[in-house]
Amino acid sequence: MPERDILAIYHQPDYDIKIWQEWLDKINRRIRLVPIDAPEAQEAEIIIAWAPPKGALAKLPHLKGVISLAQGVDHILDDATFPKDLVLGRLIDPFMAQSMAAWVALAILKQHRDDATYQDAAKKRDWIRIEPKFASDFTVALLGMGAIGGHVAETIAALGFNVLGWSRSQKTLKGVTSLTGIDGFNQCLNKADYVVSILPLTSATRDLFSAATFKKFKKTAYFINCGRGLQVDEDALIDAIDGGHLSGACLDVFRTEPLPPESPLWAHPKITIWPHVSAQTSPITAAEQVMQSILNILDGKPPVNPVNIERGY
């Protein structure tokens, strides 16, 4: 195969670009990454990206395909000028699934084991003990049971929690009760002590977690979001917590990222903030899949994990 130009992740620091180049070189030295604003970009047939500038893809005359450096692709399809003839692939990386499972487990266990109370006591040098809670007495609802969500659900089930998994289609996973449809969604909200969203952003999930939705949650439930920030009405979330209906929230994604300094989420005592790091992409584990998708697209074949553009994932 002749040398191909693959556009670099346009908004990442240079060292990230260099790391990706290093790992792609280990697989195939004929691939060269260039920034999206470089003159050579006009000749490129492939772009690997997180969120290219709106309108940029439509200006690349030789582009054949796009590879998202994430499992979600809403950040790419949000561009109204996205060329409909392009092939779009996404990453499904075991490392990302493991990272997400660890992060969700951490978020649940910090709340379940009263971490905030113990840490406050430690600052006061106050030696306290809280009656332990059995995981089997608590229910976790996982909303979104794709390649990552399914792994997360099984990981949480292995910790002894009762796990409900909600998805578009029925799933068979160890220790997980699979639910579908609007009735299944409402069951998750009504029964779960911990509600975890790993949903992709689509027209059906945008603004899903509204004031009306939070009212369906079990009283004192804890909300964890590592799906997409645009799914949550953040003001409604704060109101639900302040009103005593939710016990708190752990958020890794937000409507605006980076989260603005003036956001009330930062200072809320019952909300934990993470900077969108629950499942980061690593070239160490993902470069081979990216390379195979590149070769497939250039050969007229689908990428390793093709996206149904109409469905949005």
Q: What is the mean pLDDT of each run of 10 residues along the chain (313 residues)?
A: 53 64 82 82 86 90 91 90 94 93 98 97 98 97 95 98 97 97 98 97 96 97 98 98 98 97 98 96 90 92 93 85
Catalytic site includes residue 40: no
Q: How many residues does the chain have?
A: 313
Instruction: Assign 306 to helix, strand or coil.
Output: strand
Which of 29, 228, 234, 255 does the annotation list as catalytic? 228
Question: In this predicted structure, what is the pLDDT of residue 1?
Answer: 45
For the record, the structure tokens of 285 come out as 């584990």
60, 111 Cβ separation under 8 angstroms: no
Question: In this predicted structure, what is the pLDDT of residue 313?
Answer: 85
In terms of Cβ atoms closer than 10 Å to its own Cβ (0-12, 13-18, 19+), residue 246 is buried
Which of 268, 276, 310, 311 does the annotation list as catalytic? 276
Tell me the HSE value of 151 on the side-chain side, using a 13 A CA sphere: 15
242, 208 Cβ separation under 8 angstroms: no
Which of 22, 257, 268, 310 does the annotation list as catalytic? 257
Query: What Cα–Cα distance (Å) separates residue 61 from each residue in 38, 149, 217, 218?
Result: 14, 37, 49, 52
For residue 10, the tally of other CB atoms under 10 A from its CB is 17
Written as one string, the DSSP assignment of 192-260 is -SEEEE-----TTTTT-B-HHHHHHSPTTEEEEE-S-GGGB-HHHHHHHHHTTSEEEEEES--SSSSPP
| Residues in contact with 85: Cβ distance below 8 Å, sequence separation at least 6, in sequence order | none
Question: In this predicted structure, what is the pLDDT of residue 243?
Answer: 98
For residue 119, the tally of other CB atoms under 10 A from its CB is 10
In terms of Cβ atoms closer than 10 Å to its own Cβ (0-12, 13-18, 19+), residue 306 is middle
Catalytic site includes residue 228: yes
Residue 142 CA, chain-centre distance (Å), reads 13
Q: Which residues pair with 111 in a beta bridge?
A: none
Question: In this predicted structure, what is the pLDDT of residue 50?
Answer: 81
All domains in the chain, ordered by first residue: 4-93+281-298 (3.40.50.720), 95-273 (3.40.50.720)
Catalytic site includes residue 131: no
